[in-house]
Amino acid sequence: MKKEEVKVYSLDRIKKDIFLLGLKSPYLAKNSFPGQFLHIKIDKQSLVLRRPLSIHKVEKGITYVLFKVRGEGTRFLSGLRKGSTLNIIGPLGKGFDLQFTVYSLQFTVILVGGGIGVAPLLFLAQKFRGRKVWVFLGAKSKEEVLCKKDFQELGCQVFVATEDGSLGFKGKLTSLLKEKLSIINYSPSTKMYACGPVDMLLEISKILREYPQIDCQASFEQFMGCGIGVCRGCVIKTKQGFKRVCKDGPVFNIKEVF
């Protein structure tokens, strides 16, 4: 992890309020791991705290974050110009555990991304290139579905759920996941990775009670202060006590939390 001034390589509007920001930092490109995040200083006097954003992908030496405009900080980022600089601390946090991939080539991977929660999952799919990966994407409507094509280009099989039924399954992403799990041929080496609203993660943990052999790691969001494990402003309750999302996470085994 290091603090550095990083040049904005690109900024593209992907959807109405979704932006893809490319950052030119050889250090980040070399050291980033799926599930980790960047803590970005917003150059505005009114905003003291940095804003955490997951590493979305690394391509040709450029590190990307995919973000949704929510408030002042992300609005500021959406107005950046190519060539401007950002003060960034990263990569931070404990990413997804991919240790098992070293030992087992025969496994299926299931990625579940609700809304902007898809952000850290593309980097993960890049690491699983050439393997069997099912991706579940959820959104309110067709217009809000993110990264479908990017996952397909990596060879993943993509399932989509939209609340209004304008694309794919009509209903909640977790309902689609439940339906598919009951028919797909999963094995004990199936691994699941999820990111999205906490209600979605809770629902996944309930579904997985029927499939105890499926191991699921989930990325959790929390408001952050320091981002480096000092202030304890980001704790969540786990079965082993309170844990810091920034340092002990943001990725936890879902059984640790629910």
Interface pattern 187-226 for ligand FAD (x via CB under 6 A): ----------------------------------xxxx--
Q: Does 197 bind ligand FES (CB under 6 A)?
A: no
Task: Give me the least distance between CB of 223 and ligand FES, in Å please.
Answer: 8
Which residue, 179 or 256, has its beta carbon nearer to ligand FES? 256
Q: How many Cβ atoms from other residues are within 10 Å of residue 174's Cβ?
A: 23
Q: Scan for tokens 């990966």, then name that residue.
A: 133
3-state secondary structure 53-98: EECCEEECCEEEEEEECCCHHHHHHHCCCCCCEEEEEEEECECCCC
Check residue 140 and give left, alpha or beta (phi > 0: left; psi -120 to 50: alpha): alpha
CA dist., res. 68 & res. 89, Å (int)? 20
* Residue 148 is a binding residue for ligand FES (CB under 6 A): no
Characterise 83 by phi-psi region: left (phi > 0), alpha (psi -120 to 50), beta (else).
left
Q: Residue 1 interacts with ligand FES (CB under 6 A)?
A: no
Least separation in angstroms between residue 247's CB and ligand FES is: 6
Find the shortest distance in angstroms from Cβ 244 to ligand FES: 4
**H or E segment at 102?**
helix 100-103
Is 231 a binding residue for ligand FES by CB under 6 A? The answer is yes
Burial 211-230, CB ≥16 within 10 A → b, else e:
eeebbbbbbbbeebebbbee
Does residue 232 touch ligand FES according to CB under 6 A?
Answer: yes
Of the candidate residues 173, 234, 236, 254, the single one contacting ligand FES (CB under 6 A): 234
Is 225 a binding residue for ligand FES by CB under 6 A? The answer is yes
208 phi and psi angles, rounded to 5 deg: -70, -10
Q: Which of ligand FAD, ligand FES, none is residue 73 near (CB under 5 to 8 Å by kind)?
A: ligand FAD
Name the residue type at position 83: G
H or E stretch including 122? helix 121-127
Which one among 73, 227, 249, 250 touches ligand FES, defined by CB under 6 A?
227
With contacts defined by CB under 6 A, how many residues of the chain interact with ligand FAD? 22
Question: CA quadruple 158, 108, 210, 254: dihedral positive or negative?
Answer: negative
> From the list 32, 54, 63, 190, which residue makes contact with ligand FAD (rule: CB under 6 A)?
54
User: Which lies closer to ligand FAD via its Cβ, residue 3 or residue 70?
Assistant: 70
Binding residue for ligand FES, selected from 145, 161, 224, 257, defined by CB under 6 A: 224
For residues 213 and 189, the answer to whether their CB atoms sit within 8 Å is no
Binding string, residues 224-253; x marks residues near ligand FAD by CB under 6 A: x--------------------x----x---
Pick from 6, 226, 251, 257 the residue near ligand FES by CB under 6 A: 226
Question: Which residues sit at the interface with ligand FES, rule CB under 6 A?
Answer: 224-227, 229-234, 244, 246-247
